[in-house]
Homo-oligomer: A and B are copies of this chain.
Amino acid sequence: MRVGIIGAGQLARMLLESASALGLEVTILAEHPDDAAALTAHNVIIGTPKDPEALAALADVVDVITFDHELVDLDLLEELESAGTVRVAPSPAALICAVDKVAMRTHLAGHDLPMPDFLAIEPGSAFSFDDLGGRFGWPMVVKAARGGYDGRGVFVVDNVDDARTVINRLHGEGTTALIEEHVVIVSELAALVCRDSAGIIVSWPVVETAQIDGVCREVLVPGNVSDAQRQEGENIALAVADIVKNVGIMAVELFATERGLLINELAMRPHNSGHWTQDGSVTSQFENHLRAVAGLPMGAPSMTATHVACINVFGGPDALDPFHSLHDALGVSGAHIHLYGKEPRPGRKLGHVTVTGDDPDEIRHAGWAAAISLGTVMPDELKRETR
């Protein structure tokens, strides 16, 4: 079975590690030869995911195409799928809910799923800022329908002037603006599921994530997630997967609020909130994504430890290569370290550390100790001894 992956970041790199064991032959479509996965893959095509020729070259040598990221051209993917020579998993019809935030809200609306109130405003359409203010109040959230990630493309605006500036800028770029109710977030959770083409879904435990400026810094399993939240989050993710009919991994980012969980965003590829599954679950998200995409039965999502902490490694202000402090980091007992081979830059995501165990504080501290020794700066917001 030959699998093509669009994009060559760390997700593709970690998919390659699992693909090797399954005997899958993988070809990567990489924008640059020094992308994380392009450094380890045997088969690399250099090109952008929006270039029809590069996509055709990939489709020529694989049986199924899947994704490292969602910055893709859905029309091109639909053409590929229609041509019938290659499968696309998840299919463009599902993937749109991860590519386009307006499509996601619209698609899920009417299914009795908990979401913030929202309104899509296309470029050139008529609307009144007073009506917006009346409906959503201030502050409100304005999002670019497409193209944002890691907090980019999301704006909290406090008044009409700021809203006008942001919406006009998005419209000037030809982008639909998604207006969302600003909700008071008690905590952020993520539910991870994997669905196969027959509609079977496996579901990992719901996790607590810490997002600083829209970027995931740590994932705690189960973290501060109540049994009720775990059940609610899992039910939401199962319902969403049933509706959008994705094949492969889907992460549902959730806001925990005073009125319960609300769906924030969807991702349809291995997700940062699921990296812990490599070292803390019977089957990792990477392996199950490949198994689902390749038409193979999925493995058990059960935990292999009672608690797991996964801490992201970012380039520090001096942009030192974390590899050079790997000796110290591996000296932290129990630390499983995953580096992405990316050129270090301040603030760039360069790896993650996973620690499993029985004591949630102990493993969280160990994870941070290793991440800090790799150059990560711990955000003040996360400096707490215990919950």
Contacts and interface: CB of A to CB of B under 8 A. Distances in A.
Interface of A: 1, 13-14, 16-17, 20-23, 25, 39-42, 44, 282, 291, 295-297, 299-300, 304, 322-323, 326-327, 330-331, 333-334, 336-341, 351
B282 A23 contact: no
Contacts of A17: 17, 20-21
A1 B327 CA distance: 12
Contact of A339 (B21, B42, B336): B21
10 contacts: A1-B323, A13-B20, A14-B21, A22-B326, A23-B340, A23-B351, A25-B39, A25-B341, A42-B42, A296-B326
The 8 closest A-B pairs by CB, nearest first: A23-B339, A21-B338, A17-B17, A297-B330, A23-B323, A20-B40, A297-B331, A17-B20
A297 B23 contact: no
Contacts of A282: 334
Contacts of A331: 297
A211 to B, nearest CB: 24
Contacts of A42: 39-42, 44
Contacts of A23: 322-323, 326, 339-341, 351
Residue among A23, A304, A330, A331 with the highest chain B CB neighbour number at 10 A: A23
B21 A337 contact: yes
B327 A297 contact: yes
Contacts of A25: 39, 341
A200 to B, nearest CB: 12
Contacts of A14: 20-21
Nearest to A279: B282
B300 A333 contact: yes
A120 B50 CA distance: 67
A286 B295 CA distance: 29
A337 B298 CA distance: 12
A44 B41 CA distance: 11
A296 B329 CA distance: 10
A24 to B, nearest CB: 8
A206 B25 CA distance: 35
A304 B41 CA distance: 30
